[in-house]
Amino acid sequence: MSVYIEEPRYLTAGESCVVAEFADEIDRGANDAVMELKRYMTGQSEIPIIECLPTYRSLAVYFDPTVVSADDVVRVARKAPISVKSDAAAAMTEISIPVCYGGEYGPDIANVAEHAGISEEEVIKRHSSRACHCYMIGFMPGFAYLGGMDESIATPRLTNPRTVIKGGSVGIAGKQTGIYPIDSPGGWQLIGRTPLRLFTPEASRPTLIEAGYEVRFVPVSEEEYKKIEAEVAAGTYKPLITEAK
């Protein structure tokens, strides 16, 4: 397993896609490099591209091979000034996600507290104490792969997955934390729920969290949860997003 930000690998991925790979493991610096390359490729006007898909450690660039060639894409990508170094986190856009922890919103918080040998209040404190990095969106529409959770609250998945989990539920699976964007089955330990809509298909930007964002969970009371929920339903809620400088 290694990181090769300075010498990315350009992988052949059929005639309509090139993958620029910065590591073969999960690495924050490699992910930051992916985001830098994505910004460069979507901002450049030298060649037309269809879309860029950032993942943990690579950027897939999709293009029309009757207009540009894979070689063109690699040539342009090589011009991108990649400034990040391995494991040196770049300044990122931060989004605050209000979460009502415990109770009916987070029925498994007691499991997490028991597994960590701490109180439920301490679970909330540790879960919301540091921002998590969104490495990529995948698995299902709007699902953010988050890294950087306090490992002291890591808890194995439920042995019996639930058949339905409400969209907005915040869970823990091993060292990972995440938010279910839409109602779906799943086996994560649910510790809370956000009233925000993570995935809105009809919106111009369908996902609230984007790859490369820092995600900060902010504990709110049930009363605040319901207030925000009503604002979201009315379309008046503005999520707190701090843009990177």
Partner 1 sequence: MLTSVQDLGRWGYQSSGVPVAGAMDLPALRLGNTMVGNPENAAALEVTLMGPEIEIKGGGAAVFAGAELGFSVNGKEVGSWNVVLLNDGDVITFKGPRGKGCRGNLCFAGGIDVVPVMGSRSTYTRAKIGGFEGRALKNGDVVKVGEPSPLWKRTGGFNIPEELRLTQDPEAPLALMTGLQEDAFTEEGKKLLFESEYTITAESDRMGCRLEGPKIGHTEKGADIVSDAIPLGAVQIPGHGMPIIMLADRQTTGGYTKIGVLSPLSIEALVQKMPGNKVRFRKAVVQEGADEQKRIKDAVRRVKELYASYVSRPEVKAAAAAAAPLSTHFRLTVEGKSYDITCEEIS
59, with CB counted inside 10 A (0-12, 13-18, 19+), is buried
Determine if 53 is a binding residue for partner 1 (CB under 8 A).
yes
- Report the residue from 207, 214, 220, 229 that binds partner 1 according to the rule CB under 8 A: 207
Identify the CA nearest to 188 among candidates 180, 197, 196.
180
Region of 44-52, 89-97, 126-134, 151-159 interacting with partner 1 (CB under 8 A): 44-52
Determine if 206 is a binding residue for partner 1 (CB under 8 A).
yes
| String marking each residue 130-159 x if it binds partner 1 according to CB under 8 A | ------xxxxxxxx-x--------------
Identify the CA nearest to 208 among candidates 184, 185, 179.
179
Largest CA distance in the chain: 60
CB of 104 to partner 1, least distance (A): 25
Determine if 24 is a binding residue for partner 1 (CB under 8 A).
yes
Determine if 81 is a binding residue for partner 1 (CB under 8 A).
no
Residue closer to partner 1, measured from CB, 140 or 244: 140
With vertex at residue 191, the alpha carbon angle to CA 186 and CA 196, rounded to the nearest 5 degrees, is 85
Region of 84-92, 96-104, 122-130, 194-202 interacting with partner 1 (CB under 8 A): 194-202
Say if residues 175 and 146 touch (Cβ distance below 8 Å). no
User: Tokens 């450690």 correspond to what residue?
Assistant: 57
For residue 54, report the phi and psi dihedrals to the nearest 5 degrees. Answer: -80, 140
Q: Which residues bind partner 1 (CB under 8 A)?
A: 11-17, 19, 21, 23-26, 38, 50-58, 60, 62, 64-66, 69-70, 136-143, 145, 181-182, 199, 201-202, 206-207, 210-211
